[in-house]
């Protein structure tokens, strides 16, 4: 296989991982609460990522990164996974998976809007159009087509789902200044998160967990938090065309709806499908316009003749 073919294979593997996430969240949350799920899944991810670092011979690099970047390690680790997943899992406790999952994909729109405010980036017309289209899709999913009310969707759950996108976007803004190697950075985040997550669980819940609860929580930590990221970062490292890999992620929410229907038995509403199409269309439009703008601003190749 060529490097680009391998990149596509790893990209599709990560899509397969993340497509099961929403269903895995709901299955786990049927056995454990959000505090227990964050603690157990964070522990699983930390063990897996630390194992990867050791196998790759990067343990000394990890120790160096702790000493050099302890501040960003502490802040990033508390932000993701602890705060982000506590909010996201609580949203999944209160909402159907088919509602919580598509809303989570609007984080890149939030990132754009936050960059305008925080990083003083220029407001571009296509970003506002993309935001309007995406949040039109969110509104359609939340109301299930009944624009005079929010249907059966829990208002707190909707607020938490939208709030999780703010936390995730904030995490990526923080990553702009993150000089750590990605795998090492993520490993350190989870090593910081484990004692914090278990502390929150001790205060807010308990550790009385069934075997099935442990198994489903471990699956979330392994597939959603660790392996999916490792596959995705490998795909981006191998490819010579990042767009061909990054566009694969838009397969995930649609595959996820099929799994939600088949495994959880949720009836997938037409409004959910239409709303998700609007969200993905808005994100693809924004990505297309950004790529087009980047091509315009690239310097013309020099004539060497």
pLDDT band at 68 (very low <50, low <70, confident <90, very high): very high
Query: CA-CA distances (angstroms) from residue 258 to 138, 195, 271?
Result: 19, 36, 15
Mean pLDDT within 25-42: 97
Higher-pLDDT residue of 287 and 163 is 163
Query: What pLDDT digit, counting tens, does each position of 134-184 carry?
Result: 999 999 998 876 766 555 678 999 999 999 999 999 998 888 888 899 899
Query: What pLDDT digit, counting tens, does each position of 87-143 carry?
Result: 999 999 999 999 999 999 899 889 888 888 887 777 789 989 999 999 999 999 988
- How far, in Å, CA of 191 to CA of 54, rounded? 14
Q: Are 225 and 63 in contact (CB under 8 A)?
A: no
- How far, in Å, CA of 31 to CA of 44, rounded? 17
Cα torsion through 138, 140, 143, 147, rounded to 10: 130
Asked whether residue 20 carries a pLDDT value surpassing 90, the answer given is: yes
Q: Are 132 and 65 in contact (CB under 8 A)?
A: no
- How far, in Å, CA of 153 to CA of 91, rounded? 11
Residue 177: phi, psi to the nearest 5? Answer: -95, 5
Asked whether residue 302 carries a pLDDT value surpassing 60, the answer given is: no
**Least confident residue range of 169-178, 185-194, 225-234, 272-281:** 169-178
pLDDT band at 297 (very low <50, low <70, confident <90, very high): low
Chain mean pLDDT for the chain = 90
Q: Are 84 and 167 in contact (CB under 8 A)?
A: yes
Q: Is 250 exposed, middle or buried (0-12, 13-18, 19+ CB in 10 A)?
A: middle
- How far, in Å, CA of 170 to CA of 107, rounded? 9
Q: Left if phi > 0, otherwise alpha if psi is -120 to 50, otherwise beta: which for 153?
A: beta
Which DSSP state fits 247? G
Q: What is the reported pLDDT for 152?
A: 63
Q: Are 14 and 245 in contact (CB under 8 A)?
A: no
Asked whether residue 305 carries a pLDDT value surpassing 50, the answer given is: no
Q: Are 131 and 282 in contact (CB under 8 A)?
A: yes
Q: What is the reported pLDDT for 294?
A: 73
**Least confident residue range of 51-65, 108-122, 170-184, 197-211:** 108-122
What's the half-sphere exposure (Cβ side, CA atoms, 13 Å) at 154? 13
Which DSSP state fits 180? S
Please work out, in degrees rounded to the nearest 5, the angle formed at the alpha carbon of residue 188 by the alpha carbons of 184 and 193.
Answer: 150
- How far, in Å, CA of 153 to CA of 265, rounded? 17
Mean pLDDT within 28-47: 98
**Least confident residue range of 22-26, 37-41, 171-175:** 171-175
- How far, in Å, CA of 138 to CA of 75, rounded? 30
Query: What pLDDT digit, counting tens, does each position of 73-89 carry?
Result: 999 999 999 999 999 99
């Amino acid at each position: 296989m060529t490097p680009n073919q391998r990149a596509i294979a790893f990209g599709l593997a990560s899509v397969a991982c993340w497509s099961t996430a929403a269903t895995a969240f709901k299955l786990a949350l049927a056995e454990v609460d959000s505090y227990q799920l964050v603690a157990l899944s964070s522990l699983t991810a930390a063990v897996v990522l630390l194992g990867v670092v050791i196998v790759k011979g990067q343990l000394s690099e990890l120790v160096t990164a702790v000493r050099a970047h302890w501040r960003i390690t502490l802040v990033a680790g508390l932000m993701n996974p602890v705060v982000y997943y506590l909010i996201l899992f609580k949203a999944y406790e209160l909402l159907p998976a088919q509602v919580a999952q598509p809303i989570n994909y609007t984080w890149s729109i939030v990132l754009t809007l936050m960059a305008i405010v925080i990083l003083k980036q220029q407001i571009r017309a296509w970003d506002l159009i993309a935001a309007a289209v995406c949040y039109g899709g969110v509104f359609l999913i939340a109301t299930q087509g009944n624009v005079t009310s929010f249907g059966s969707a829990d208002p707190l759950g909707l607020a938490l789902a939208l709030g999780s996108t703010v936390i995730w976007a904030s995490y990526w803004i923080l990553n702009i200044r993150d000089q750590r190697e990605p795998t090492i950075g993520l490993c350190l985040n989870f090593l910081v998160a484990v004692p914090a997550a278990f502390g929150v669980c001790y205060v807010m819940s308990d550790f009385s967990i069934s075997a099935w609860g442990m198994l489903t929580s471990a699956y979330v930590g392994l597939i959603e938090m660790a392996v999916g990221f490792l596959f995705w970062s490998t795909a981006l490292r191998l490819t010579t065309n990042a767009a061909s890999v990054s566009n694969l992620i838009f397969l995930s929410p649609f595959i996820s709806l099929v799994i939600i229907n088949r495994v959880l038995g949720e009836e997938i509403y037409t409004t959910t499908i239409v709303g998700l199409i609007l969200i993905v269309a808005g994100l693809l439009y924004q990505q297309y316009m950004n790529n087009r703008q980047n091509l315009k601003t690239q310097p013309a190749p020099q004539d060497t003749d």
